[in-house]
Each structure stands twice: as structure tokens, then as C-alpha cells.
Amino acid sequence: MRARASLGDRMRWGGHRAGSFPASNLLFVVLLLAAALGLARPGHAVDIVEVSRPIAQQDLASFLAGLQTPEREITIQRPDGGLGPDGQMTLTAKGPGPLYNWVAAAFANRSDQPVSVILAVPHQGFTGSGFYPPRLVGPRVYGTALAGSGQLSSLPPVPGENAYLLTLPPGGTASVAFEVTGGPLPVTLWQRAAYDAHKDFTSFFRGALLGISVLIALAMLLLYGFRARALFPVAGGFALASIGFMLLEAGHLTVLTAQSGMTGFTLQVLRAVVEGLMAGFLLLLLAMLADLGRMSRMAANLLLIAACLAFAIPIYGVAEPLLATALARLVFAATALGGFGLIIYLWYRGEVKAETAVLSWTAVLLWTMLAALAALFSEPGSSIANVVVIGLAMLLVLLGFVLAHHAFAQGYLSRHFFREAGRHALALAGARAFVWDWQPEEGELFLSPEIARALAQPPNAFEDAAGEAFLELMHPADRSAYLATIAEAEADGRSPIERKFRLRHGDGSYRWFELRARSITGGNGYRAARCIGTITDVTSAKIAEERLLKDAVYDMVTGLPNRALFTDRLQRAIDGLEPGAATALFVLLVDLDRFKIVNDAMGHEAGDALLSIIGRRLKAEAEAVDTVARLPGDQFAILYHEVPGGRGVDAFAQALLGTVGRPVKFEDQEYFLSASIGVAQYRPEVQDADKLLKDAAVALYEARRKGTGAVELFNPSMVDDRAELVVLEAEMRRAIERNEIEVHYQPIARLADMHLAGFEALVRWRHPSMGLLAPESFLGLAEETGMIRDIGRVVLNEAGRQLGIWQRAYRSAEPAFVAVNISSAQLIEPSLLDDVKQIISREGLLRGSFKIEVTESLVMEYPERAAQILERFRELGVGLSCDDFGTGYSSLSSLRKLPFDTLKVDRSFISSEAQDHRAVVILQSIIAMGHELGLAIVAEGIENQDQVDRLGELGCDYGQGYFIGKPMSSKQVNDALAGLPYAHTSGRTAITWLWERAIKDPPPEPALRRVTAKDVQRPEPEKRPARPYPRRRMEPDPVPRPDAAPPTLPETLPPPGDARPMVDFDAPPPALEEAAAAPAAVEVALEVVEVIAPAEDATPEAPADRPTPEPAAEPVPADPPPPAARRRRRRQRQVSLPGEGEA
């Protein structure tokens, strides 16, 4: 499509400078009105160039007129003012569009000779390209058009420009139009001879600059072969990139790529690649010259990372060349400016390398400023393009001289010889391991080859670039400290160097080394010119040191922080807590219930494994900011941060209880644990970590009082009586040492005939100031303090000893038994079996007469362990009784598996409140089941005759309770048993006789009270003269029976197992008559027993003012009567068993 352009169309001519495209709407309106009025007429739009003038070179910028149109083909009026049909010219665009830019000029030859001139148009290069988007590099002209009498032809391609030959005949005129890429078009008119001379000079000049630059680049690369430093190849890379920049400016790079077949790279891509490489190598050059690794390894790494990222710009330039070019220029300018500031800063610090880098980087900054002015502000065709290229070549020359000075400043050969000699001399004088030699001015590090072998590295690992290789093997966490130490030693050449660090071994592990070196000052003041010393392997010493440090603040079993580290972290948390902070701070103390029992029963290995597992569970339950620590014993401490919207401390404590309560499997056996937790919250008035821990301990103590699985939050009203617990523990220990722990015996009767069957041993504490205490008053304290084992051992020994005395003194056909209760701590104690075995062997106890009572709950806590222990007891001949049956687990499988021979039915099935039909059925079922299993049944808590009768009807074997008999001291039992032969003559049983003794000398009632530290204060003992132990008078009965023969006193007690006639506790009448023949012998035997073992019957007599239920007619003497007198009074009185006579 052809369009005709007029003054009212899109054609805009003007006599302006090249590149001025008027776009003013006002001008457009004025021209449009002029065209409408017919004022527009042909005329000269621009000045005409006179080609016949003898000027060698002429700039045509003022003779050019511009046109911009969206039409590809357009007809315009000739700029030279031609009239008629020849006054127009048609322009056909060849550019990409959518807007097409034309520049036109008019030429005339007013001479009488034909004239030929050269029109030269340089390519778009770096000069005047701008920043973003940069102008397209390469030819500026897409095509040309000629109108008039002249001829226009293109000359052969010249690198860097387009040249056209214009020939005009004499008197001829012509209009020449250039389709351009846009922007100003620099066109120069040359006379033919002048143009040829200019072309030859430009080619020579550019060739010389390129040759010098290539030689400098090769020299930089060759320096690396002379001294292996990364600085030289980096500088060579920058020089090569600069050569590419020169080739691009000269136009040779297009020819080279075309000849090499790289047709896929356009000029825009080549420019982005070249300038991107220049920016990347400049960053690397800055990193090498600054040597930041000696001052800050992190800064050096960041600079290297930035350089590596800069090398991504050339790759990105393939896809987006214009944006990549802008980025490259921005990075180059920032590197030049920032690098200059960094070099100046290092120079001010006195760095040796910075001193030599100041000059070269100043040149870099000056050239960058020149290039920026050329790219942003220079006019097209300006000669500043040559200045930019010359400046770049001078920069390379200066950089080459600086690098040469760096390589050859100190004389390599002589310095190498001196370094070797000095190294060997100093190493032999002071080195004990591996030689370490550092020369700061040269940046060289020497390491003896032996260290490579010690680290299992290749032999040549430290031959080239030893400093970089050494830092590469060093642990990342130690590099900064190592470099800082070396930098400090360089700054002060008089300070010694001592530093420990880790080096990577060939197997991947790290070994500890210690560097000890000294500095040698140079000629530049106090700065070190050389640092030399030794490196020693200290791995073993460091491991031992770390183990000691870790053991000091970490628990060896669980690996958790110990109390010291926990207290430190707690104090830091308290100090760092701001007033009014939303985060609440809590301390939780977790105490494992009954862990000591498990630890003693299963062994310390199992206990440590359980603690380790519980510690890991608690740590997993806590948050990352919390601290879990193990305290001494079986306690854990947790520093908990309660944040708004998060889990509260109550929920966290309950989660901890659930975590501890999960079963733990160890060696194919499951263990169940529980815990008590004390919680203390940080309060502003508590600024001390120890005080907050103490508050949590008080709360834990209160939680343990409530039982297992309790959580207690501290409040200031709580009383810390743990100190009182220590006093009570010491008091109980003294009680054991002073024989204040007594054993009382409660009779057990055979319900079928109400004969005495045995006793149950019950513990009492006869305190000097509080009197006789019930077990409920002190056994809880004993369990808390761990004294329950010692008290249980005392009860076992005393009960076994007393049973042995009775069996030797009263050889009945059916000997009485003694049942002893044991605690859970005793049951799983390893020494319990040996203790019982020793008691049976020492006292010669009859098989089955010494019984052990355990509760269902106790057995079911450790079923497997308990089954093993009870089976061993049965093999020893110890009777086994299941106490409180029906109130615990009531596991029938336990009756089948465990070797019990007796069941003790709890008093809750016997009491008056439980006399409904269901209770009777359950009781009857228990008795029937026990008999079917071959077990004897003992009913506890019998209070009246009705219960005795009912139990007898149900077939219950034995009964026990205050109706049968109250607990009595061993002395009271001995006194009562001494009169049994006389009781049999009247048909009374041993139970009746015990009741008579109880009425005559009532058993003391133990007090049930809370024992405190104030209560246990002992009175000061009075100093009394020693007196001999009182012996009882052995005299015959003052009222002998007529038919009684004079007694024959045995010299010693009959040994166990003697075949002499035995005295039966509840013998039938014939046996009573036979036994009554020697009452005095029995009495004498008792007295002998008491004399031989005075400690056995050392229980003090009741005081004289103790009330007795004796009749008023018979006065009670102040002192206890002798045994004979007591027997005489018993024969005079008849006291019936409650239920049979008067209660």
C-alpha cells in the first residue's frame, strides 16, 4: 500500500538537528491550518550539502531531517526541493516496525566536475547506549533511498561502520534517505582520500591496543604457573573479558563469531555476555585483592557468592540480553565503588595487600566513571569512544604491573632458599609435632607433610594453596576464631599465638589440634612478617576435658542437664523475663513414686535404663524452649514456659503423668511407674532460682502426702517441713539403736475350740517423751525416709527370736505360730530371703510356724518378682498369708499361682455394718473357695461372740480381734503362758488365761498422733550410778499343792528337738493332770530364759499407779508380785472369756 505524505499527514520534516522529531500538538495544529488555507507550497525543508567544497571531513548532523511513520511504504517530497513528479521520492522500509524511522539529507554539486564523496555511518557501540534499556548494538542503518541525479552505492564492509559512495554529476542534486534503528544518526561526509587514511589509522590503532591487551592477559595467566595464587587467573579472566569488550567496540567480534560459525549469538547477546563476564571477574578480583578471609570469613564467603551470582548474568543474557546488560553495568559500577571503599578501609587498617591494591582499584574506579559518562551523556559519533577503549587498555597495563610486583617483589629464588633454611632451623628448635609457617605479606602457609599423613589426606594436600586447603579441612565453627587470632598476631608481631581448632580426618571425623606459634616482626614496625610454630594433636586431652565439662553440667545416666545447669538456665530465664510479659514461667519437680523399690529389686542397671527412658519421654513432652533436667535420685526438673494460647501448665503436668505412667519394657518385662509433681510459678518477689526450686520442692512434698499421681501448685501458705523430716529420720534411727521399737503380739484363736493358735506381730514405738506410739503414727514417716526396711528387719528378728523362745520353753504338740507383716520395700529387698533364712536357722523354728503376711495390692504391684520370692519362702518352710483378701485386686489367678497357705479375710466383711445377705454370701464363698484350695482362713476384726459363732458356722478356721485378745508385749505373753498348766486344771484355755492376764495387767493402748520434730525432743538423761541387773529369786511356790512333788530344776533349757514330754497350751484334762505335776519346773525355765536373754524381756513393768480392773477388795501392791504370788491369786479368781461369762 502506498501513501502520499503531505504537511497534513504523518510526515514531519524540520530543519532541526538529527534526531529531533517534533511531537508538539501545537505545531501539528498550525501546520494543519496552513495546509487547509493553501499556504503550504514546495520549498526547501532542510539545508543542502555542497559536496564540491574541498573539506576532508564534514559532520552532517545539522543537515539531517527526521521522519517517523507507521507505513512501511510512503511517498514524500524530496528534501532538495525538486518540483513536479521528480520532486517526490518513495521510501520503502526494511526494518522490523511497527514504527519506521527515516533520516534524509539533500546534496548538490555546483561545480562543473562530477564529485564522489563517502558517507560514513558508525555502528552503535558502548558510547551513548544508555542504561536501561540500552540501545541495540550494531549497524544503525536498515536501508537507503536515493532521489535525484546522483548515484549511491555501498562500499565493502568496514568493521564498526557502514560506508556509502555518493556520486553527483556537475550541477546535479540528490536526496538521500536512511532508514535507521532510532535515535540520533551520526553521519560523516569524507573525501575519498581522507577516508582511506582515516580507515588505515583506526585499524592500526585498534590493533595495537588489542595486541597489548592480549599480551597482558597472557602474562597474568602465566604468573599462576610461577606462583599458584587464584589472583592471577582471576585477573587474566578480567583481561580476557576486557579484550572482548574492545573487540565488540571495534566491530571485530561480529566478524569472529561469523567466521567461527556461532551464528546463533546476536550482537545483543554477545554484549550481555562480555559485560557480564567483566562484572563477575571484577567481583572475584576484589575478593582476591581484599583478602577478606583473614579478617572475616563470612564477609569473604559473601563476596565470593556475589561473584558467582554475577557469573549468572552472561547465562541470563542469552534469554534477555538487554536486561542482562543493564544488570552487568549496575554490578560493575557497584563493585568498583564499593570495592574502592573497602580497599581504602583495609589500607587504613594496615593490611599489606591493601597497600598494593589501592592504586589498581583507583584506576578501576576512574575508568568506571569515564565509561558511565560515555554511556549516559555522550553524543553519537563522539571521540569519547576511543578514550574509553584507551582507558581500558591502560587499566589492564597498570593491573599487570601490580600483579608482577606481587609475584616478584621479594626475589623468589633467594626467598625460597631462606624460607626453607629458616623453617627447618626454627622447627628443630621448638616444634614438637607438625610445622606451621605463615608469611602474611605473601599470604603463604607451609605445613609439614606429616600432618597430611596424620589426617589421612593425600600427600600433596598442602603443597599448593596450603592456606585454602587448611581452612577447607578446618571445622566451620573454628575458622573465624582461627582467622581472628592470626590477624591479631599479624597486627602485633610480639604476641604469641595459641589456638585450638578441629581438622577433618579422612574418615569424616574431626580431630582436635593446638597451634602454638610466635611472630617475627618485619621492617614495617610492629606488624608481623612471619609467624612460625607447631601444631599438636590434642584429641585425647580434649575429649577428656569435654567429658569432665559435660559430667559437670550433664547427668551421666540420662544425658540431661543436672541441677547446676538447670539452676543456671532458670536464673537466666528469670533475669531475661521482662515485667508484664505474657509468658509465664513455671518450675515442675517430677518425683517417681516407689522407684527406689524397683531399683533395689531389679538392679541398678534396670533402674538406670528406666531413668533414661523416662528422661527421654519427659524431654519429648516438653517444648523446644523448655529445659528438662535430672536431679539427684529419682527426680526430674522442668523449666516450662506457658505462652498465651498454648498448653497450660495444668495440662502439661497431666501429660507428664500420662507419659510416666506408660509401661516400660526392659528385658522382656514391663514396669509401671507413677509420679508426683510439684509446681512453682515465678513471682516478681522471687528473683532467685534456688528459691523457686525450693518452692517447687515444697509443693512436691505436699503432692507426695496426697498419694501417687498427685499434682500440687505451690502457694506461700505451704509449710516446708522437710527439715523436720530429717529430724524425725534421725530420731527413728536412734530409736532402733536404743531398742525403742517394740513388738506386741495379738492372739489368734482357733474358732472351733477357742484354743490359742498363734500371734500376729505388731510394731510399736515406745518413745521416752511421747510414750507408746501406734504404727500409724510413724510408719508413714518411715516409708518417706526409707527407714521402713530397718524397722521391718527389727520386727522380723524380734518376732523370730521370741517365737524361738516360746517353742523351746513350751514344747506343744501343735506349736503356736507368729505372723509378721512385711512392706513393699522389704518384699523386693534382695537381703530379705537371707535374713529370714538366718532367723529360722538361728532359732531352730519349726516348719510353718513362722509366717509372712503380704497384701494383695503389694503382690500385684510386682507379680513376677513377688512370685519368685514367695516360692523361695515356701521352700524355706515359711508360712505365707495373703492379708486383707477381698479389698485389693482380689485376683483369683494370684491364688492359683502364688504359694499362699492362709487367707486373712478383711474386717470389712466381719463388721456389724456388713451383716447383710450379700456380705454373708461373699464371706461364705471366700471361706469355701479357700478350703477347696487347701488354704486356712483367718477372720480379722472379731468384736463379739455373735461373730465368733457365725464364723464358726461358716467353717472359718481362725479368728483375730480385740474380742479374742488385745496386742500384748512379749513379757505379758510370757507371764500369761507361765500359768497355763494351772489354767488347764480348771478347764480354761490359753485364750482365757491371756484375758485374765490382760485384765490383771492391761496392755498399754498405743497413742495415735502426728509425730513432729518438736514432739521428739528427748529429755536430758539423768546420771545414775550403775546397778547390777536384777535377778529373779528362784523359790518354790509358797502355796504348794499337796500332791505336787518337789520340783527338779533343769540346769539348762531343753534343746530344740528334745524327746522330752511337751507341755500343750490347750491340752485335754488327762494331759493337764500330767503337766500339773511340774509347775515349778516350767516357772524356773521361764526365769532361766529371762536371765539368759535379759534384752528379750527388757520391757519395763507397768507403773504402780496404772489402774487395773481388779476388784476393790483385793488391793494391788505397789511393786509387781513375784510369779508365785500371781499364780496364787489367779487360782483364787475365776475370770471368764467375754461371751462366755462377763465381758
pLDDT tens, position by position, 342-377: 888 888 877 767 777 888 899 999 999 998 888 887
What is the model's pLDDT at position 1131?
39
Is residue 81 within 8 A of residue 87, CB to CB? The reply is: yes
Which of the 8 DSSP states describes residue 1094?
G
**Overall pTM > 0.85:** no
Cα–Cα distance measured from residue 534 to residue 518, given in angstroms and rounded to the nearest whole number: 10
Pairing of strands 497-504, 510-521: antiparallel
For residue 1133, name the pLDDT band (cuts at 50, 70, 90): very low
Query: What is the separation, in whole angstroms, between the first and last Cα of the chain?
Result: 143
Cα–Cα distance measured from residue 415 to residue 407, given in angstroms and rounded to the nearest whole number: 12
408: CB partners within 8 A, 6+ apart: none
Grid cell of 515 as nine digits: 597451634
Grid cell of 369 as nine digits: 566513571
H or E stretch covering 521? strand 510-521
Mean pLDDT of all residues in 870-892: 80
Q: Which amino acid is at 79?
A: P
- Which pairs from 259-267 meet CB under 8 Å and 24+ separation? 266/321, 267/136, 267/137, 267/138
For residue 29, name the pLDDT band (cuts at 50, 70, 90): very low
What is the model's pLDDT at position 1000?
76
For residue 53, name the pLDDT band (cuts at 50, 70, 90): confident
For residues 29 and 444, which has the higher predicted lDDT (pLDDT)? 444
234: CB partners within 8 A, 6+ apart: 281, 284, 285, 288
What share of the chain in percent tops pLDDT 70?
Answer: 77
Cα–Cα distance measured from residue 1004 to residue 770, given in angstroms and rounded to the nearest whole number: 13
The DSSP-derived string for 653-683 is HHHHHHHHHS-EE-SS-EE--EEEEEEEE--
For residue 475, name the pLDDT band (cuts at 50, 70, 90): very high
Tell me the pLDDT tens digit for each residue of 779-829. Answer: 877 877 778 888 999 999 999 999 999 888 876 667 889 999 988 778 877
Closest CA to 132 of 326, 378, 333: 326
Cross-strand partners of 147: 175
Assign 887 to helix, strand or coil: coil
Cα–Cα distance measured from residue 954 to residue 989, given in angstroms and rounded to the nearest whole number: 23
Grid cell of 353 as nine digits: 595487600
Which of the 8 DSSP states describes residue 888?
S
Assign 555 to helix, strand or coil: coil
Closest CA to 1050 of 1075, 1093, 1096, 1087: 1087
Helical segments of 940-1030, H only: 945-954, 970-978, 980-985, 990-1000
CA dihedral angle for residue 936, residue 941, residue 946, residue 952, rounded to 10 degrees: 0
Q: Does residue 1093 register a pLDDT over 70?
A: no
Grid cell of 1029 as nine digits: 541387773
What share of the chain in percent tops pLDDT 90?
Answer: 16
- Secondary structure (H, E, C), 327-345: HHHHHHHHHHHHHHHHHHH
Mean pLDDT of all residues in 828-834: 83
Mean pLDDT of all residues in 979-996: 70
Is residue 752 within 8 A of residue 952, CB to CB? The reply is: yes
* 39: exposed, middle or buried (Cβ count in 10 Å: 0-12, 13-18, 19+): exposed
Closest CA to 660 of 621, 693, 623: 621
Q: What length does the chain have? A: 1143
787: CB partners within 8 A, 6+ apart: 729, 732, 733, 736, 781
For residue 1030, name the pLDDT band (cuts at 50, 70, 90): very low
Tell me the pLDDT tens digit for each residue of 618-643. Answer: 999 999 889 999 998 889 999 999 98
Label residues 835-855 b or e (16+ Cβ within 10 Å = b). Answer: bbbebbeebebbeebbbbbbb
Q: Which amino acid is at 34?
A: A
Cross-strand partners of 105: 176
- Secondary structure (H, E, C), 220-274: HHHHHHHCCCCHHHHHHHHHHHHHHHHHHHHCHHHHHHHHCCCCCCCHHHHHHHH
- For 768-878, where are the E strands, in sequence order? 771-773, 817-821, 850-855
Tell me the pLDDT tens digit for each residue of 897-935. Answer: 788 899 998 888 887 665 677 878 888 888 999 898 889
Domain 727-960 has CATH 3.20.20.450: yes
SS3 content of the chain, % helix, strand, coil (to 5): 45, 20, 35
Cross-strand partners of 452: none
100: CB partners within 8 A, 6+ apart: 68, 69, 70, 71, 72, 93, 179
Is residue 793 within 8 A of residue 835, CB to CB? The reply is: yes
Q: What is the CATH number of domain 424-545?
A: 3.30.450.20
Closest CA to 677 of 722, 643, 711: 711
For residue 1090, name the pLDDT band (cuts at 50, 70, 90): very low
For residue 658, name the pLDDT band (cuts at 50, 70, 90): very high
Domain ranges of the chain: 3-186, 203-288+297-408, 424-545, 554-720, 727-960, 968-1002+1029-1143
Q: Does residue 302 register a pLDDT over 70?
A: yes
What is the model's pLDDT at position 293?
65
Q: Which amino acid is at 902?
A: T
Pairing of strands 141-148, 664-665: unpaired
What is the model's pLDDT at position 72?
87
**Mean pLDDT for all residues in the chain:** 77
Assign 754 to helix, strand or coil: coil
Tell me the pLDDT tens digit for each residue of 55-87. Answer: 888 888 888 888 888 888 888 888 876 654 567
For residues 1048 and 956, which has the higher predicted lDDT (pLDDT)? 956
Cα–Cα distance measured from residue 641 to residue 573, given in angstroms and rounded to the nearest whole number: 10
Is residue 474 within 8 A of residue 495, CB to CB? The reply is: no
Q: Taking the CB of residue 1105, how many other CB atoms lie within 10 A of it?
A: 7
Closest CA to 536 of 436, 641, 662: 436
What is the distance, to the nearest Å, from the Cα of residue 575 to the centroid of all Cα atoms in its chain? Answer: 22
401: CB partners within 8 A, 6+ apart: none
Is residue 933 within 8 A of residue 898, CB to CB? The reply is: no
Domain 554-720 has CATH 1.10.3210.10: no
Q: Which amino acid is at 381?
A: G
Mean pLDDT of all residues in 373-399: 82
Grid cell of 830 as nine digits: 534382695
For residue 436, name the pLDDT band (cuts at 50, 70, 90): confident
Cα–Cα distance measured from residue 783 to residue 707, given in angstroms and rounded to the nearest whole number: 12
Cα–Cα distance measured from residue 566 to residue 628, given in angstroms and rounded to the nearest whole number: 8
